[in-house]
Structure 1
Amino acid sequence: MAFIGKAPGRVNLIGEHIDYNGGMVLPAALSIGLKVKLTPRRDDTMTIAANDYPEIATRQMDECVSGHWSDTALGALRQARALGMIAGGADLAVRSTIPQGSGLSSSAALIVAVLKAARAAGNTALTDTALAVEARAVENGFMGVPCGIMDQMAVALAEPGTAMALNTATLSYALLGLPRTHAVMVVHSGLTRKLTDGRYGARKAECDRAKAYFGTDDLCRLTPGEIAASALEEPARKRALHCASEHRRVLDAVAALKADDMATLGRAMNESHVSMRDHFEMSLPAIDALVTDALTLGADGARLTGGGFGGCIVAIIDHQRQSRWLAELLSRHPAARFIGAA
């Protein structure tokens, strides 16, 4: 018997790299997503067929990370077995419309979808929040990606058309409707990246040095003033400045979204990109140019979204102008492509 698990992609409106630093984040679910069909096996073998890859991969459940594209599914399935959801291996069939390396949480969506299918197979009473925590454990423990909890919570609990105002320190959240007058547009820069390439981990280590200096796990609760006045060495001081200021921008953005105040939301997004570029140093010149042109052509707000060093930008633009805006933006950036709207 086969069991189905689904998860959407996600775009982060604002709140980058602060989900592992105690901050508030504001991701939104996308209409693109991922579906997994899981058929339990009695032996210790996993097979996986995915529409993004030509071959069917076969792995053993006791294998470790090997750098193969099937690692993520294997890690999720190993976690499902450790939780008692399945007894052996499984055959997996994956259909995804989430571009890989785009910063739209394709890996988190796959892990969550596998765990949801396994939860159904095992008839396990695991809440979606608890499932998101287990999905993060796969990324941290098996894949070796030191990510926070934002992606897993967003793809496990949010639905297309909603944003999640998530307190990553407590996992409390509220689902908010997206703007009525504006479209949330996601445009791929044409530059791909992997969270396992080391740069994400380097930023996490720099944040950890700042935490040790200030004696706190919650950099976002510090004030930008006390960080700026400190003797903390660079670049850890700059990373901490981003975290503290980004948390406050997210709070402003959540209030603006609730009030349907697109000017304030856009301003927070723009300031976020500047901080990611200058303080967290996670942008690239081609992405900066894409953001600049998105704003020049009429977007109220635009920023890099995701782990950085490639991937997508997110912009908010009046519904009446979105078609012309998109056409002009893509004409200026031939390598870029439209992914979709939240």
Structure 2
Amino acid sequence: MAFAGYAPGRVNLIGEHIDYNGGMVLPAALSIGLEVELAPRTDGVVTVAADSYDEVARRSIDDGANGHWSDPAVGAVREARALGLVDGGASLTIRSTIPQGSGLSSSAALIVAILKAARDAGQGTQGDVELAVAARRVENDYMGVPCGIMDQMAVAVAAPGTAIALDTESLDYEIAVLPQSHDFVVLHSGVTRKLADGRYKERKLECDRAKAFFGTANLCSLEPEDIAGSALEEPYRSRALHCATEHRRVLAALAAIKAGDIGTLAGAMAQSHASMRDDFAVSLPPIDALVADAMTMGADGARLTGGGFGGCIVALVDKGAREDWLGSVLAAHPDARFVASV
């Protein structure tokens, strides 16, 4: 018997690289997503068939991560076994509408969808927040990706078309209703990214160095002025400064959304991109050019979204101007493509 699990992709509207530094983030669930069918097995084998790959992977549940595309699936089944939801392995069939390498949390969606299917298979009582925490363990401990909790919480809890204002330190959250006058449009830059390529881990280690200097596990709680005036050397000071200022931009953006203040929201997005480019150094020239043209051609706000080094931008666009804007931007950037909107 097969059990189904689903998780959406997500776009982070604002609040980048602070979910592992104690900050507030504001991701939104997308209409695109990932569906899994899971059939439990008793032989300790994990088979993975995905519409993005021609091969059917056949792995032992005891295999370590080895960089294969099936690693997130194997890790998720291992975690499901640890939770008592499956006894052995599983046969998985995966269908996804999330572009790979887009920074829209395809790996988190896959792991959460598998865990949700396993919960049904094992008649588990775990809540969605507990599954999100388990999914993070898969990425941190099994795959070696030092990510925070944002992606897993967003795809486990939020519904498409809503945003989740998440305190990543306490896991307290509220669902935010997005402006009716504007769309958040997600465009893929054409530059593919992978979290496992080492640069994400490098930024995590740089933040850890800053935490050790200031004696805190929460860089976002520090005052930006104290960071800027500190004796911490570069680039660690700039990394910490991004975290502290980005956290405050999320709070400002959330207040602006509640007040219907598009100008303040757009300004926070633009400042976020500048900080990711200059202080956190995760943008690339093609991304910067796409963000700049998105703004010049009529978006109120635009920024790189996701871990950086490629992937997607998100732009805040008036609904009435969206189609003309989209045509102009894509004509100027032929490698870019429309992915989704919120």
Task: State the TM-score bracket (shorter-chain normalisation).
Answer: over 0.9
CA drift at 1:102: 0.4
- Gaps (5+ residues) in structure 2? none
CA drift at 1:55: 1.1
Looking at structure 1, the residues matched to 300 and 174 of structure 2 have their Cα atoms a distance apart, in angstroms, of 24
4+ runs deviating over 4 angstroms: none
2:187 aligned residue: 187
Measured on the aligned residues, the alpha-carbon RMSD in Å equals: 0.5
1:45 aligned residue: 45
Looking at structure 2, the residues matched to 203 and 55 of structure 1 have their Cα atoms a distance apart, in angstroms, of 34
Alignment of 1:1-342 (within 5 A): 1-342=1-342
Looking at structure 2, the residues matched to 63 and 94 of structure 1 have their Cα atoms a distance apart, in angstroms, of 20
Q: Deviations over 1:149-186 (max 9, x none)?
A: 00000000001110000000100000112210001100
CA drift at 1:66: 1.3
Looking at structure 1, the residues matched to 26 and 49 of structure 2 have their Cα atoms a distance apart, in angstroms, of 33
**Counterpart residue type for residue 199 of structure 1:** R
CA drift at 1:148: 0.2
Looking at structure 2, the residues matched to 24 and 89 of structure 1 have their Cα atoms a distance apart, in angstroms, of 37
Q: Deviations over 1:20-49 (max 9, x none)?
A: 000000000000000000000111101111
CA drift at 1:262: 1.1
**Counterpart residue type for residue 58 of structure 1:** R
CA drift at 1:284: 0.1
**Counterpart residue type for residue 173 of structure 1:** Y
Looking at structure 2, the residues matched to 262 and 143 of structure 1 have their Cα atoms a distance apart, in angstroms, of 39
Looking at structure 2, the residues matched to 128 and 209 of structure 1 have their Cα atoms a distance apart, in angstroms, of 32
Looking at structure 2, the residues matched to 170 and 340 of structure 1 have their Cα atoms a distance apart, in angstroms, of 30
**Counterpart residue type for residue 240 of structure 1:** A
Looking at structure 2, the residues matched to 62 and 42 of structure 1 have their Cα atoms a distance apart, in angstroms, of 13
Looking at structure 1, the residues matched to 259 and 92 of structure 2 have their Cα atoms a distance apart, in angstroms, of 43
CA drift at 1:256: 0.7
SS of residue paired to 1:119? helix
Looking at structure 2, the residues matched to 244 and 42 of structure 1 have their Cα atoms a distance apart, in angstroms, of 49
Question: May I ask how many residue pairs the two structures share in their alignment?
Answer: 342
Looking at structure 2, the residues matched to 62 and 90 of structure 1 have their Cα atoms a distance apart, in angstroms, of 12
Looking at structure 2, the residues matched to 280 and 38 of structure 1 have their Cα atoms a distance apart, in angstroms, of 39
Looking at structure 2, the residues matched to 103 and 212 of structure 1 have their Cα atoms a distance apart, in angstroms, of 29
**Counterpart residue type for residue 123 of structure 1:** Q
Looking at structure 1, the residues matched to 40 and 260 of structure 2 have their Cα atoms a distance apart, in angstroms, of 46
**Counterpart residue type for residue 234 of structure 2:** E
SS of residue paired to 1:35? strand
Q: Deviations over 1:117-137 (max 9, x none)?
A: 001101111010011000000
**Counterpart residue type for residue 271 of structure 1:** Q
**Counterpart residue type for residue 98 of structure 1:** I
SS of residue paired to 2:148? coil
- Gaps (5+ residues) in structure 1? none
Looking at structure 1, the residues matched to 154 and 185 of structure 2 have their Cα atoms a distance apart, in angstroms, of 18
* Superposition TM-score, scaled by structure 2 size: 1.00
Looking at structure 2, the residues matched to 260 and 111 of structure 1 have their Cα atoms a distance apart, in angstroms, of 35
Looking at structure 1, the residues matched to 286 and 180 of structure 2 have their Cα atoms a distance apart, in angstroms, of 30
Looking at structure 2, the residues matched to 35 and 47 of structure 1 have their Cα atoms a distance apart, in angstroms, of 16
* Superposition TM-score, scaled by structure 1 size: 1.00
CA drift at 1:139: 0.3
Looking at structure 1, the residues matched to 242 and 255 of structure 2 have their Cα atoms a distance apart, in angstroms, of 20
Looking at structure 1, the residues matched to 130 and 260 of structure 2 have their Cα atoms a distance apart, in angstroms, of 32
Q: Deviations over 1:247-275 (max 9, x none)?
A: 00000000011112111111000000000
